[in-house]
Structure 1
């Protein structure tokens, strides 16, 4: 006991307290830095264009950040419960704890926090990750958890998602997360394309790219929602039953897809119904098909030769 600093020998590594996802935090900080950089140059934009640019850029950054961030979120399918449950194998000792199940696109996260944290002369505060990426072996991670001697509630929930479990959750959630992640990356590519096209004199194609972004985002929602076709096992934890449901990442992604469809549809409709209003919002001047700004300013030529021969004053059009 002294050798392991009062930690039981079957815990060879320090236990991880529940915290924030590091990749998710990095994504949020990157997009916040982009937003802050734009806000610094915003005072340099004159007139009403300043507010149009503010709305455009912040909306676009929100959509891009959401599409990337939900890849690293475990809030797609969540469940939380307070229970009085057993803590260790081959022991009758029970603890009062808060158990959380967080299912993401690449795996599950299980949290166990004692209430209070200090019970049975131990600190009960766990945050365990089990992944099913293409290059990860979920079964091996579960076996490693058994060897470390993780608490019973963590092992119980992790076992429900193993490939050999009779619940059949692994294959459905694995495939649903895989296809949802793939379609979200396609949506992110179209989001980049829409920003490029909307910054050029091609608002129609930018609106179509934004519609495609919304469509692929909704495809990701439908792919993950396919897990509802699998009967969910009962997660019995001591005196309580954990009942998972769709989490915040699922609903925010759904809202983002609908937002992209509305914005893309508005751009396409304004392209045909009110092109001048669309150009004002996009801060674009009236342009001809060749992409050059076209201004018509009559120039009266009072040439003495014209006056001598009685020629009328001429009006010409210049393309600047």
Structure 2
């Protein structure tokens, strides 16, 4: 830089930003497409069954979409502050900007937006992501950010989450995200089993799996809250302002969905004990168990037919057939009473 006339570091222009996280956009698109397909075939269902079926489909798709979306969301812990802080390294010039921090299960996202956006003859609009998968990927991403010359507020917050930082935020949030993500994947598996069992005549087990779906979501919240509260909060100072972090939308959405799953699971369990017939009618299942019956049709072929147990005929006594010797004896000596002996 001295060879270039003591100019300040060169900053690359802001990279293009999609309005929504691409992973969340894909998840939302998939579930919305499934919902549209189910709505298209809705007119083919008659009577009250149409409303029951629509309620089941919407509820199931909502739960599945939430479990996947929050697992990939970066808004488990969020914070934002307006600050007057330095912008470039080795420069006394300051900017007025909104600094945002979003902590997810797989990394952190840091935003820096100027107020106004155009300051110091530059466009101040940054959105940087730093992930912490297994290994030293976070340290490498932070080193690349230093080489790239990102603004001071972004580098300051990213440095707080490095493994060598005295704040200890890296191990704290990394463990919390790991265990919470595992619980959410188990919850998603329970959600799949719930849909399978509710489509079969085992409704009580479907209710149990729905209850398990909610329990594992609450366990994810418990692991995340417990692990992130093990160490005292680290002060994040940007100029004279202090950035404070609190639970974000993903945390509260998971809590609401987990409680909803537990409530619906308990309702299914109670309804199976109190009103099993109405529960079967709600899921469009017959109240009577079918019995397999065979009947001959054209071409001497046997095809299965189902008939309810209540319509089955009464058992009839069928006389045993006579042995060939007794029949022959009666034909030759019809008046002899001892011919069978």
In the TM superposition, 1:193-212 aligns within 5 A as 193-212=193-212
RMSD: 2.0
Secondary structure class of the residue paired with 2:41: helix
How far has the Cα of 1:123 moved from its partner? 0.6
C-alpha distance in 2 between matches for 1:14 and 1:136: 26
C-alpha distance in 1 between matches for 2:53 and 2:125: 46
How far has the Cα of 1:231 moved from its partner? 1.0
Matched with 1:179 is 179
Matched with 1:35 is 35
C-alpha distance in 2 between matches for 1:142 and 1:13: 18
Secondary structure class of the residue paired with 1:285: coil
Please state if 1:237 is matched with 2:238: yes
Matched with 2:268 is 267
Matched with 2:328 is none
Give the 3 Å change call, closer, same or farther, for CA 28–234 of structure 1 in structure 2. same
Matched with 2:327 is none
Aligned residues: 293
Matched with 2:289 is 288
Give the 3 Å change call, closer, same or farther, for CA 84–290 of structure 1 in structure 2. farther
Please state if 1:121 is matched with 2:135: no
C-alpha distance in 2 between matches for 1:195 and 1:225: 30
C-alpha distance in 2 between matches for 1:147 and 1:136: 17
Matched with 1:213 is 213
Map Cα deviations across residues 54-75 of structure 1 (whole Å, 9 max, x no partner).
Answer: 1111000000000001122111
Q: Give the TM-score normalised by the residue count of structure 2.
A: 0.82
Structure 1 gaps of 5+ residues are 1-7, 301-320
C-alpha distance in 1 between matches for 2:291 and 2:272: 18
Structure 2 gaps of 5+ residues are 1-7, 293-305, 315-341
C-alpha distance in 2 between matches for 1:290 and 1:239: 78
Secondary structure class of the residue paired with 1:229: coil
CA contact (8 A) 1:107 1:130 kept: yes
C-alpha distance in 2 between matches for 1:17 and 1:238: 27
Q: Give the TM-score normalised by the residue count of structure 1.
A: 0.87
Give the 3 Å change call, closer, same or farther, for CA 289–224 of structure 1 in structure 2. farther
C-alpha distance in 2 between matches for 1:293 and 1:62: 38
How far has the Cα of 1:172 moved from its partner? 1.1
CA contact (8 A) 2:9 2:88 kept: no
In the TM superposition, 1:165-176 aligns within 5 A as 165-176=165-176
Range with greater deviation from structure 2 (130-139 or 120-129)? 130-139
- Larger C-alpha radius of gyration, 1 or 2? 2
Please state if 1:69 is matched with 2:83: no
C-alpha distance in 1 between matches for 2:291 and 2:215: 31
Matched with 1:192 is 192
C-alpha distance in 2 between matches for 1:293 and 1:99: 70
How far has the Cα of 1:19 moved from its partner? 3.5
Matched with 1:248 is 249
C-alpha distance in 2 between matches for 1:264 and 1:129: 38
Give the 3 Å change call, closer, same or farther, for CA 242–12 of structure 1 in structure 2. closer
C-alpha distance in 2 between matches for 1:261 and 1:137: 38
Matched with 2:25 is 25
CA contact (8 A) 2:105 2:181 kept: yes
